[in-house]
Amino acid sequence: MDIHHGVIKPANSLLVFATCASFFPYVVAGPVTQARQLLPLVEKPRRFSLDDFQSGQTRFLLGFFKKAFIADTLALYLVDPVFAQPGRFAGGTVWLALFGDFVQVYGSVRRPRAGSWQARENRRM
């Protein structure tokens, strides 16, 4: 749209265009990023920096730890069993599972599970 309205010029390289186009899922999920904001960042020349690499590696590993160990463990041992059959558990355990679900969402983006309310709603239909 920005190119059509003359706000920006078309990308000079297929690689730059493909990189910007690959950010479409981010644009849908997060704050709306327009091509005029993204293209200059993609076209900007970059040099390898050991500090940036180490920072990115640290962020990746921290995110992986949150997802693989914290979120998945909470799902397996607390959230999924309680949400699958909440009537079998005491109120405090259900509240703890609810808090665990918040922590799990923070640690990962998850899909509906077999014990989730979405799956139970689909079975009722």
pLDDT tens, residue order, the chain (125 aa): 567 677 777 777 788 778 777 776 654 555 556 677 777 777 788 888 999 899 889 988 988 888 888 888 888 999 999 999 999 999 999 999 999 998 888 766 544 445 444 444 444 44
Q: What CA–CA distance (Å, rounded) separates 112 from 123?
A: 13
Residues 63, 115 within the same domain: yes
Residues 30, 71 within the same domain: no
* Overall pTM > 0.75: no
Q: Is residue 53 part of a domain?
A: no
Q: What CA–CA distance (Å, rounded) separates 74 from 99?
A: 10
Residues 69, 28 within the same domain: no
Q: What CA–CA distance (Å, rounded) separates 111 from 125?
A: 20
Q: Is residue 14 part of a domain?
A: yes
In this structure, the chain runs to a length of 125
Are 16 and 43 spatial neighbours (Cβ–Cβ below 8 Å)? yes
Give the pLDDT score at 122. Answer: 44
Q: What CA–CA distance (Å, rounded) separates 68 from 95?
A: 23
Residue in this structure with the two tokens 């990962």, named with its chain if needed? 108
Q: Is residue 40 part of a domain?
A: yes
Residues 70, 105 within the same domain: yes
Range of the domain at 6: 1-46
Residues 63, 9 within the same domain: no
